[in-house]
Amino acid sequence: MRVLDASAFIHGHDPDGPTASIPAVKEELEGGHALRFDAMEGGGMTVHIPDEASLRRITRAAEESGDADVLSETDRRLVAAAFELDATLVTDDYAMQNVAERLDLDVEVIARDGITEEREWQWQCFGCGRVFDEEKDRCPICGSELTRKNPS
């Protein structure tokens, strides 16, 4: 089973074998992409609604990996659907890949290479330049704002 995000419908990605998606993805699609969703649903694609317990688990994992602020509600629901269906998540979104890997879910990418290892975010202070491993509202040393740093 593969759980498809919006980019799968936009790229016309139609893998062999059973597929699933969520109602929120269809709401994000327009025109021909939405029609493709309908066609795949008509062809047997499962439209799954994840439950609250799974969503909470995804939120926790996203907070742990530092992706909570970039993960949309739709992203969160997609990861939860893959988690509940024990499916492979098909997405090009790095934050979703990161959270899925934290939950030991299989991830498949469509348009570009996936990440090979989980990225741990860091936050850097605008004022003094210190780097922190966890998000804080303010730098505890100088009180300046922190910005998320993308480790290379």
Report if residue 127 touches Zn ion, rule: CB under 5 A.
Answer: yes
CB of residue 150 vs Zn ion: minimum separation in angstroms? 19
> How many chain residues interact with Zn ion (CB under 5 A)?
7
Stretch in the footprint of Zn ion (CB under 5 A) among 86-94, 100-108, 115-123, 143-151: 143-151
Report if residue 131 touches Zn ion, rule: CB under 5 A.
Answer: no
Residue 106 or 145 with smaller CB distance to Zn ion = 145
Beta-carbon count within 10 A of 30 CB: 9
**Residue whose pair of structure tokens reads 């799974």 in the numeric block:** 54
Q: Which long-range contacts (CB under 8 A, 24 or more apart) does 114-121 make?
A: 118/65, 119/65, 119/94, 119/150, 119/151, 120/65, 120/66, 120/151, 121/65, 121/66, 121/67, 121/148, 121/149, 121/150, 121/151
Q: Rounded to 5 degrees, what are φ and ψ at 31?
A: 50, -125
Residue 59 or 124 with smaller CB distance to Zn ion = 124
Report if residue 139 touches Zn ion, rule: CB under 5 A.
Answer: yes
Stretch in the footprint of Zn ion (CB under 5 A) among 49-57, 81-89, 107-115, 128-136: 128-136
Report if residue 146 touches Zn ion, rule: CB under 5 A.
Answer: no
CB of residue 82 vs Zn ion: minimum separation in angstroms? 38
Tokens of 58: 């995804």
Site residues (vs Zn ion, CB under 5 A): 125, 127-128, 139, 141-142, 144
